Structure 1
């Protein structure tokens, strides 16, 4: 089973690499992709937070925001309710898919026990996984993924060719 994790500096394009690779695979007839994708929420050029989207259903919510009352990670308040309702559920439901995308296993997502449990269930399955992994997390789940996955570092030199390289790896499985 193929498992690839993308890591790198903040803002380098990790989520973009994963999204582009998944888009290339979505063209494969009968190939079903499940899991989650996060994206920046911007207002007037400033990052206000992050959204989370279930890739199978399209359901979207707010993962974190500069305004809110949830646990803090940096300047953001994590919305545990939507992380669990959308993120953890999307990962559990993705066990029926051909590829599971997890964007991202990072400090915000690791605040949720339900999310951690859902990722662990994915790791216990025999499903191929494409994930974004926070570059310096010491959480035991992140450490486990570093050991079990092929970890690719994204940088300015390779970020444009990585999506095709990754998609080809999953096409060949």
Structure 2
């Protein structure tokens, strides 16, 4: 069982590192990756929010957006409906997969109790897990991950080599 948390400053490329590592490893025949991936929603050069996608089914929705009616976090409104319907559900369903990916465990996601509960359920399993962890969250779930996972901090110098390093770890553990 492999447990890796990727962290670092906002915008440094944490999600990109995880996506590239999963792409390198997840193309193996018969290997199932489950969980969630988030992607920036951009309008020209301006970030306006984040989408959320179920890695196993491809189902996607909006995690947060600059306009909306959900709980506000910074300049974004969190779409609890999609976070719980797509995100928490994808994480719960990922227990049937070989690798669980959770991009991201951060303040926006942690305001949802169903999301937190789904992540806790996966942590209690024997599944290998790769997560993106918000750099400064003090939520008890984030603190638990810091204690139980190998922590890799992404910076501009190491971000190009980290996907290969993570994929190699996954090959050794699961391949």
Asked whether 1:34 is paired with 2:34, we answer yes
The 5 A counterparts of 1:1-173 are 1-173=1-173
Which secondary structure does the structure 2 equivalent of 1:56 belong to?
A: coil
- CA RMSD, aligned part only? 0.5
Deviation at residue 123 of structure 1 after TM alignment: 0.1
- The one-character-per-residue Cα deviations of 1:79-106 (angstroms, maximum 9, x if unpaired) are 0000000000000110000000000000
- The one-character-per-residue Cα deviations of 1:103-152 (angstroms, maximum 9, x if unpaired) are 00000000100000000000000000000000100000000000000000
Deviation at residue 27 of structure 1 after TM alignment: 1.8
Q: Count matched residues.
A: 173
Deviation at residue 45 of structure 1 after TM alignment: 1.6
Task: Name the CA distance, whole Å, in 1 between partners of 2:48 and 2:19.
Answer: 21
Task: Name the CA distance, whole Å, in 2 between partners of 1:43 and 1:21.
Answer: 27
Unaligned segments of structure 2, at least 5 residues: none
Which secondary structure does the structure 2 equivalent of 1:120 belong to?
A: helix
Unaligned segments of structure 1, at least 5 residues: none
Which secondary structure does the structure 2 equivalent of 1:35 belong to?
A: strand
Task: Name the CA distance, whole Å, in 2 between partners of 1:37 and 1:134.
Answer: 14
> Deviation above 2 Å: which 4+ runs of structure 1?
none
TM-score, normalising length: structure 2: 0.98
